[in-house]
Chain A
Amino acid sequence: LTRDQLDQDTWDEVEETLLAADLGVGPTQELVAALQRRTRVEGVSDVAGARALLREELLALVDPTLDRSVATHVADDRPAVVLVVGVNGTGKTTTTGKLARVLVADGRSVVLGAADTFRAAASQQLQTWGDRVGARVVTGAENADPAAVAFDAVKHAVDEGADVCVIDTAGRLHTKTGLMDELGKVKRVVEKQAPVDEVLLVLDATTGQNGLRQAQVFSEVVEVTGIVLTKLDGTAKGGIVIAVQRELGVPVKLVGLGEGPDDLAPFDAEAFVDALLD
C-alpha cells in the first residue's frame, strides 16, 4: 500500500495482495468488505491506518489464541502417536524427520514408522532422516501393507517405552478413494495398539485453491488435528490455510522453512500475517 488517501486503487491493491497470497476470491472479498466497513465506521482515511486495520483483521482470522501445540506428550505410560499425511511431494517425510529432530533435542526417545512402502526409496529416505536425527526407524518390505508397518512401529515404540512414535505415510491425492481408504485403515489398525494423538496434514505453501479440498477430504478420512505448512522459505505465502482454518477449524501448528533438519518452526500468526502483507 503506497498511496496516502484511501480510494478505489487502495482497495484494488489490498485485493491484489490477498489474492496473490492464495487467500482465494471469497475470503479476499469478505476481508476487503470488512476493511471498508471498519475504515468508514472508525473514520480512518489514510493508507497507513487502513493497513494497520487490515493486519488486525487478518490476525483475527488467523487467531493467535488458538492452541497450536503438537500432542507429543499425552501420557506417561505410553508413547504419543503422530500420523503424518498429505498429497504427493508436500514434505511429509522431511517434516517427519525434522519433527523427530526437535523431539530428540528435547531429550525424548522417538520411533519413526516408514509406512510409505510404495514410493521408490521412500523408506531409505526416512532411514536417512532417522540416522541424521537419532531416531529409530521401523520399516517394512517394499509393497508391504502400510497399516502393518505402522502397527509394527507403534508396537515397537510401546514395547521400548519410547516417548513418541511418528508415522510417515505415502503421498496420495485426496481424490483416490482406494488410497484414502488405505490411509483410514492405517489409522484404525494403529489404534488397536494405541490412540493416534495427532494427525498432521502437510500442505505445501505453493498450493492454490486445491488445498482446501485436500484438507476437507483428509479430515473426513483421518480427522486432521493440525496443519504443517511447508516450503514457506520460498516466494509463496500459503494463504490457503486461512480458508482451511476457517472452514475446518484446523489450525496450522508448524511451518517448514527449508530442507535441513532444523528448518521446522512453530506457526507464528504475526510473522505469517506480516509475510503475507509484505
Chain B
Amino acid sequence: MFTSLSDRLSATFKNLRGKGRLSEADVDATVREIRTALLEADVALPVVRQFTATVKERALGVEVSKALNPAQQIVKIVHEELVGILGGETRRLRLAKTPPTVILLAGLQGAGKTTLAGKLALHLREAGHTPLLVAADLQRPNAVDQLSVVAERAGVAVHAPEPGNGVGDPVAVATSGIELAKAKLYDVVIVDTAGRLAIDADLMDQLKRVRDAVQPDETLLVIDAMIGQDAVQTAAAFDEAIGIDGVVLSKLDGDARGGAALSVVTVTGKPILFASVGEKLTELETFHPDRMASRILDM
C-alpha cells in the first residue's frame, strides 16, 4: 500500500532529465508527493504543511542535470530536514546537581509509562544509580501491582503506600516519595502517573499538582509510535499543562512509520530522548534521528 518517497518522486521526475533547474510546477508536484508520503507516515497535517514549506524553498534550487537524479536529490533534502528537526537538540537524561533527580512520566492511557518506569530504573541502576519508583497511578486497576512487579524485575525499590484502584491521593504519594528518597538516599525518583486524556481537565489539574509537589528535573511525555493525527493535540496539551522537557517514543519495535515523532517535536520543540522498543525492561534505546527520518520516509 505504501510507496516510498523515492519511488514516488522518481515517477514524478521521469520526464525531467536535462531540464535545468526545477520549475515552480515541478516543485509543486514534488511537494504534493512529499505531503502524501508524510501523511501516510502519520505526520500530522499542520506539521506536514510547515515542513513542506521549508522543503519547497530548497527544492526550487535543485539542478536537474543528466548526472544527478533529482528525485534522489530531493529525498536527500527531505531526509536532511527531518534529521535536523528530530535531532536538533538530542540530549541525554539530565541529572540534578543535588540528588535526588526527579523524573515524572506522563501520557495518554496505555502509552507505555509504567513499562518505561521500569526500563529507566533498570538503565539507571546499571549505570550505578539507586532509583526509587513511585506508584502515583492510583486509578488504573492494579497499576500499583504492575509497577511493583516491574520494580522487582528491574531490581529497584518501589514506594507504593496506597493500594490504588481509586484509593489514595497521587499528590500525597508523590510527595512522600520524594521525602523517602531524601531520607534513604535514593538518587533518582521516577514517578509513574495514571494515563489521562489531554481534555480531561480534572486529571490534567491533578497532574499539575503532582508536578508542583515533586518539582521534576525531567518531565517526560510518553507517546505511542502508532499514534496518528491526534499526536499534535495531545503533545500540545500536555506541554501546555505541565511543561514537558522531553519525549519518549514507545512501541517502536512494530512497523508503524512513526510520523508522530515529527509531529510532537515540531509542536513542542522538545527533544526525543529514548525509543522504547519492546515489552522487556532491557528494550530501551537512545533515540537516533537519522534512523527515525529513514523510517518515516520508508527508506
Contact = CB atoms under 8 A, between A and B. Distances in A.
B228 interface: yes
Given A128-B141, A128-B165, A235-B199, A207 B228 contact: yes
B110 A204 contact: yes
Interface residues of A, number: 45
- Interface size, B (range): 35 or more
B228 A16 contact: no
Interface string B148-174: 111001000000000001000000000
Interface in A133-172: none
Interface in B239-268: 251, 253-257, 259-260
A236 B228 contact: yes
Tell me if B's interface is mostly helix, strand, loop or mixed.
Answer: loop
A98 to B, nearest CB: 12
B42 interface: yes
Interface string B214-241: 0000000000101111100110000000
A97 B140 CA distance: 13
Contacts of B224: 89, 204, 206
Nearest to A92: B110
B62 interface: no
B197 interface: yes
A127 B260 CA distance: 34
Interface string B90-119: 000000000000000000111110100000
A25 B41 CA distance: 10
B115 to A, nearest CB: 8
A235 B141 contact: no
Interface centre among B110, B143, B199, B259 (most CB of A within 10 A): B110
B45 to A, nearest CB: 5
11 contacts: A19-B45, A120-B149, A120-B153, A125-B145, A127-B142, A206-B224, A208-B228, A210-B254, A210-B257, A212-B1, A236-B230
Given A22-B230, A235-B197, 4 more contacts: A19-B45, A121-B149, A208-B227, A259-B109
